[in-house]
Structure 1
Amino acid sequence: MIQVIIAKSDQQMKDVYKVRRTVFIEEQQVPESIEIDDKEEQSIHFLATDNGNPVGAGRLRIEGTKSKAERVCVLPDFRRSGVGALLMIEMERLSKKQGLKEIVLNAQTHAIPFYKRIGYEVTSELFYDAGIEHMSMSKSLDGD
């Protein structure tokens, strides 16, 4: 059973970084110096597990009146299984609880259809981050 929690313990944080390392550093060849950045400490980290095994991760930062979802990733064997959507639901839930009205993110272009399906809209032109095509997206948290 898939479960999403806010990572708090040392082991949970190790699991977050393990998933991110697998997806971003090993699979997508993002340099570690870019993947692990100076925003880790100010972020709220989310961990998705399947029967206790780490399968997805993401982080959320509060930026003024909105939140920003970052580093959202799912291990290859669990893609298209709902893990990404569950991570986003929990990030949106926490954002609403904080009284925020909007959540934003920078999506890799291959993930744009996924984000559109769960209510996000493209808000920028194409740009590159870590050599990978991205577009900014946002979702209003009013009325959900």
Structure 2
Amino acid sequence: MEISLVTGPQERADAEKIRFRVFVDEQGVPPELELDEHDADADHFLARVDGRPVGTVRMVRRDGTGVLGRLAVLPESRGAGLGAALVRAVERHAREAGLRSVELHAQTSARGFYERLGYEAYGEEDIEVGIPHIWMRKRL
């Protein structure tokens, strides 16, 4: 497994394909909502296995905090630790940038995954694109 910061247009396209397959095709998120105004300024990461793109995540910087989002791993690559490795890559990147914490708006079905990685829920559950979510935070 290799995780790298997205630097070129092909890597960006690979990350978007993964996001669309997971969020649009699999979870039913409307295509026009998947890419947003934060994508242009976010730091994107791409996970590869044997050179093949299989996962992605982004981090947006906001007020001294890294906001992790759009974590997606292709179905056939799940269960091998790629999601956790992508989260750790964002955390390392945030630390190197001098950020104090990482936050995320987790699908509630993934809450346990993030709790195992040291994140704590805060606030009330809400609905985003028809899917229940909860805000979570980890201090670095």
Bucket of the pairwise TM-score, normalised by the shorter protein: over 0.9
Q: What secondary structure sits across from 1:110 in the alignment?
A: helix
Q: What secondary structure sits across from 1:19 in the alignment?
A: helix
Aligned equivalent of 1:134: 133
**1:140: how far off?**
0.6
Partners in 1 of 2:17 and 2:139 — Cα distance? 31
Aligned equivalent of 1:113: 112
- 1:49-68 correspondence runs (5 A): 49-68=48-67
Aligned equivalent of 1:19: 18
Structure 2's unaligned 5+ residue stretches are none
Q: What secondary structure sits across from 2:80 in the alignment?
A: coil
**1:102: how far off?**
0.5
Aligned equivalent of 1:80: 79
TM-score by length of 1: 0.95
Q: What secondary structure sits across from 1:73 in the alignment?
A: strand
**What stretches of structure 1 move > 3 A for 4+ residues in a row?**
none
Partners in 1 of 2:14 and 2:51 — Cα distance? 10
Q: How many pairs were matched up?
A: 140
TM-score by length of 2: 0.97
Partners in 2 of 1:139 and 1:97 — Cα distance? 15
**1:43: how far off?**
0.5
1:103 and 2:97 matched: no
Residues 22-67 of structure 1 show CA distances to partners (whole Å, capped at 9, x for unaligned) of: 0001001101111111111110111011111111111101101111
**1:130: how far off?**
0.6
Q: What secondary structure sits across from 2:11 in the alignment?
A: helix
- 1:89-100 correspondence runs (5 A): 89-100=88-99
Aligned equivalent of 2:9: 10
Partners in 1 of 2:78 and 2:134 — Cα distance? 20
Identity of matched residues, % = 37
Residues 109-142 of structure 1 show CA distances to partners (whole Å, capped at 9, x for unaligned) of: 111111000100011211000110100000010x
Partners in 1 of 2:12 and 2:118 — Cα distance? 28
**1:79: how far off?**
1.5
